[in-house]
Structure 1
């Protein structure tokens, strides 16, 4: 702790007068290393540990049980009904209490037995305005769903302090989520320009800035014809991990029709397609198979050496 004589007198005077110390003294008095931290009114490291019972409201059976790969003990293949297990569930309720019940309740053992949760995608409400109606598309028809009285009350309570309320809400839930995730797992968080900068700092604090993998830009709209400003046409999806998740390449083999239409040439090495390997604008010669070859006039080779 390194305080000047003037700073020491200021601290004593402020304490005697019962006043709040300026922010700079928090680091001077209690923290040797100054670290970047996002703070807001109402921030707390405490998370709920409430455990509520889950009640089955509706059970949707899978008629083609042969398509469901589950163990014999957790699945009745005759009826196509799941008997036990924590997967394949759509849980309705306050997500904070759902996460707390999964973390602290009897399902925690089942989740850990399967190695924890490997992949999470969340789409939290980030437009902290007054209108919480939403459009639901069914086929070619769009329906507008207005919030009911209970939803109005819930949202009013949640967003009472604006972005302070949002940050407190998302911070607690992310901490609950983090505790449920396996050692090698991934989380994707959808956001937009309203809270991107603050949400990124919250994610850094919960998962660690070194576990940030990427910001995926999602172009949701076409260009806006607005002469007064640049149109906002993208959202962000923040990608974080715990540990080192295994990346599984998703690919499918080309079908025969595509191969024949796309790869029109063939030699002893197999099928291939011709492609232009020059670009507009002059450029130097390149070596191909030991021979220096000039590009066509006004063109350059697109491959560098």
Structure 2
């Protein structure tokens, strides 16, 4: 997997109250909050408990049966998200509106139900809306629906499975030439139904960094960036798997949803299914008939390592001036 870093020694620092207080003071000073010292003192232990309980959930998930993992991983993710939010808002949770999950799942049809085609719906208030806005500057549209298959295509480690099981290419790997130039297969123009010129302006429109198409031929396109795109981890529309960059293959994937948001929505749905749709969940593991199971197992493996990696990366960057 390559993400086995969430028990990395760098993160042990968060078990020291004196370090955490100083770290939070830096976070609050960086965003010019008044009275940063007092606020860091007040929120220090809350932050530490969120980290501690998040770690515990992830640790238990690593040894749990696959059938139980979604609940443990979902609640582990929530604890780490709350720690992230405290670095931005020392009063979190300021009111009860932000405590709900902020997502609803639809009533399930018993016959012919397929997880990949299932949808969840974002709500006006709750954790999902709050962390999307505060951490990733993505405003939620109330009632917006998210399909599981679409969300899974935003996780590049799952993309090879789409190709193998459904013959569908969902992302294109960007091969690094220098820190700011990359080649990508020219066939992305066919799947996006664009000319090279349109592709360049489309990337400019959907990204927050300057991009130019330097050259293109029948096989490859060379892209030139103004700055190293990996330095801005979680910049959409790019997808990230360790230090490898990908571009989505379909226009519908060029949206502002950060990968952390996709993991939250999928985990929310899986945790609801394994709690309340026990019969379907049991059949899924025992009959192994559908395509759903390989995708769910692959996702659980990826999210158990990648979400702590991404959220700790977020935390480690917050304290830097």
Q: TM-score, normalised by structure 1?
A: 0.22
Q: TM-score, normalised by structure 2?
A: 0.21
Q: Of the two structures, which has the highest relative contact order with CA contacts closer than 8 Å and spacing of 6 or more?
A: 2
Larger Rg: 1
Q: Which has the higher helix share?
A: 2
